Amino acid sequence: MEGDFTGKDVYGKHFVPKDYLKMYYSFSKEDGSQEDALLNFYLQKFHKTFTVDGVKGDTLIDIGSGPTIHQFLSSCGSFQEIIATDYTDQNREEIKRWLKKDPDAFDWSQALKYVCELEGDREKWVEKGEKVRSTVRRVLKCDVTQVNPLAPLVVAQASCVTSAFCLDSACKDVTTYRAALRNVGSLVKPGGHLVLLVALGGNFYMAGEQMFFCLYLEKETVDSAVTEAGFDILWSEEAKNSYSPTYSDCKNVYFLVARKRIKV
């Protein structure tokens, strides 16, 4: 089942955050389920990057945040400010609902508890939520196909840029993917870090009843695009895609941490 490229307009019109969040971010009731395994993988790798390996700095920009905040749970203690961004209004609104403690916001408590357990005290999950809320200061529009993805705003280069499942969904081919990686990489200051979470080996994913395009990527394609964008890959790790095959045909999920070369 292959999907045609899902243009930006399709996202804006047909992407329903609540459907997506229910499918990909609802912890199952029984521990250790297949679906949890993948979310736990991302949370463990963000924990390794920021809490164990100590990647830190002044500002972190998250590109293509979608309607999620799981990607901030480990980094919120390592940066003075986090800027969340997304292309679609409904995703930015979903993030703002959670930041404002709107009763209709998605319940991230299971993910908060999991990350607090990784940090050694599961009971600290309420404080962790408040820390995320105080660190995510701005929620901005982004478009990775623009040379300045945050245009018309000009934002100072950041110590770290993270991007989860964005470029693979936003780029129609590898040429566009390489260009988008250069665009996103331009937001990182020299010596700063780039953290990517990529779906590998697939063509589509579902959000509710709607099919969305996913660029078919292999690890080597991502690695060479990151290197050509001016970064040295520090480490990376793959995990099997344990989502139901009806959700997506992607084979693996790929976590990568890279550092921007300092031009001498």
Ligand X SMILES: Cc1nn(C[C@](C)(O)C(=O)N2CCN(c3cccc4cnccc34)CC2)cc1-c1ccccc1
Residue 205 found at the interface with ligand X (CB under 6 A) = yes
C-beta of residue 216 within 8 angstroms of C-beta of residue 31: no
Cβ 215 to ligand X shortest distance, Å: 9
Q: How many residues bind ligand X (CB under 6 A)?
A: 27
Cα gap 240→254, rounded to integer Å? 9
Q: Which is nearer to ligand X, 59 or 88 (CB)?
A: 88
Closer to ligand X by Cβ: residue 55 or 250 = 250
**Counting beta carbons within 10 angstroms of the beta carbon of residue 160, is it exposed (0 to 12), middle (13 to 18) or buried (19 or more)?**
buried
Strands 136-141, 158-164: pairing is unpaired
Which residues within the stretch 115-144 sit at the binding site for ligand X (CB under 6 A)?
A: 142-144
CA neighbor of 116 nearest in space, from 131, 103, 106, 105: 131
138 strand-pairing partners: 83
Q: Is 144 annotated as a binding-site member?
A: yes
Stretch that binds ligand X, among 94-102, 125-133, 168-176, 230-238 (CB under 6 A): 168-176
Residue 73 C-beta: closest distance to ligand X, Å? 16
Query: Contacting ligand X (CB under 6 A), which of 42, 106, 165, 213?
Result: 165
Q: Is the peptide bond before 152 cis (omega within 30 degrees of 0)?
A: yes
Q: Which stretch binds ligand X (CB under 6 A): 28-36, 75-83, 150-158, 197-205?
A: 197-205
Q: Does 51 bind ligand X (CB under 6 A)?
A: no
Q: How far apart are CA 74 and CA 213, in angstroms?
A: 29
Q: 165, 199 in Cβ contact below 8 A?
A: yes
User: Shortest distance, CB of residue 120 to ligand X, whole angstroms?
Assistant: 28
Q: Is 168 annotated as a binding residue?
A: no
The minimum distance between CB 54 and ligand X, in angstroms, equals 27
Site string for ligand X, 8-47 (x = CB under 6 A): x--x--------x---x-----------------------
Among 39, 202, 222, 257, binds ligand X (CB under 6 A): 202
Residue 263 contacts residue 190 (beta carbons within 8 Å): yes
Is the Cβ–Cβ distance between 8 and 216 less than 8 Å?
no
Give the H/E segment covering residue 42. helix 34-47
What is the dihedral angle through the alpha carbons of 10, 87, 92, 95, rounded to the nearest 10 degrees?
Answer: 100
Binding site for ligand X (CB under 6 A): 8, 11, 20, 24, 64, 66, 86-88, 91, 142-145, 165-166, 168-170, 199, 202, 205, 207, 212, 214, 248, 250
User: Binding-site residues, please?
Assistant: 20, 25, 64-65, 86, 91, 143-144
User: Binding-site residues for S-adenosyl-L-methionine, please?
Assistant: 20, 25, 64-65, 86, 91, 143-144
